[in-house]
Amino acid sequence: MLNKHLLDNAGDDTVNPLFIEIIDNKDEYVKQYKMSGYHLVIAPINDPEYIYIVATGTLDGTKTELAMKAMTMLLVIGQYINHHKFKLSKLTNAKSGGLTQDDFLKMADMPHVKEILEKSKLITKGERTLQDVVIKLLVHRDIMIEVPSKKAYILTNAGHSFYQEIQRKFDTESELANEEDNTTIDTQAS
């Protein structure tokens, strides 16, 4: 995973020069990876925020066990954010946000979280802390990043896109539901 932005030592967003190199020479990189048996994925297509590679023939990489575990962990984090009525900026703003050790302890104590983590085999009884799982599953894969100036974790471009996609789907479904409601009202009024 290669994200468009990195955090510098002050915790400020900075553009990743490797990302720019690949985007500026996209056609060459696509060709080189293809010759090596990989597919270069640039997402989202219209306004790239992150890049990753998958083996040719396995383009539907979202359904791997590892991807499902990462999505499960992101959903648990989202549930925590909603439960405590935090704004999404807690997960995206390096200066004022970030998940801390205290957040992970509170998250682990939420109803159903232990069961979700055990059933998805993200954590086994007494084996790891929730923070360890996040570091191994999300930080080591550049879905989250540690804020250098504090022991807190925020989403990278790739991690943030997960929540943006959920929001887009929710907005689309809400619009469709509103259109159906308006159609029903118009039909009844006739």
pLDDT at 183: 60
Phi first, then psi, for residue 45 (nearest 5°) are -65, -45
Total domain count, the chain: 2
In a domain, 185, yes or no: no
Q: How confident is the model at residue 159 (pLDDT cuts 50, 70, 90)?
A: very high
**In a shared domain, residues 84 and 159:** yes
- Domain residues for the domain of 144 are 65-166
4-41: pLDDT as tens digits: 999 887 788 899 999 999 999 999 999 999 999 999 99
In a domain, 190, yes or no: no
**Poorest-pLDDT segment among 13-17, 23-27, 60-64, 68-72:** 60-64
In a domain, 47, yes or no: yes
Average pLDDT, the chain: 87
**In a shared domain, residues 55 and 77:** no
In a domain, 182, yes or no: no
Give CA torsion, residues 157, 158, 164, 166, to 10 deg: -160
108-150: pLDDT as tens digits: 999 888 888 888 888 866 667 899 999 999 999 999 999 978 8
**In a shared domain, residues 94 and 156:** yes
Q: Characterise 38 by phi-psi region: left (phi > 0), alpha (psi -120 to 50), beta (else).
A: beta
pLDDT at 154: 96
**In a shared domain, residues 19 and 38:** yes
- Whether this prediction's pTM lies above 0.85 is answered by no
Structure tokens at 127: 């084996």
**In a shared domain, residues 98 and 51:** no
**In a shared domain, residues 27 and 81:** no
**In a shared domain, residues 88 and 161:** yes
**In a shared domain, residues 10 and 37:** yes
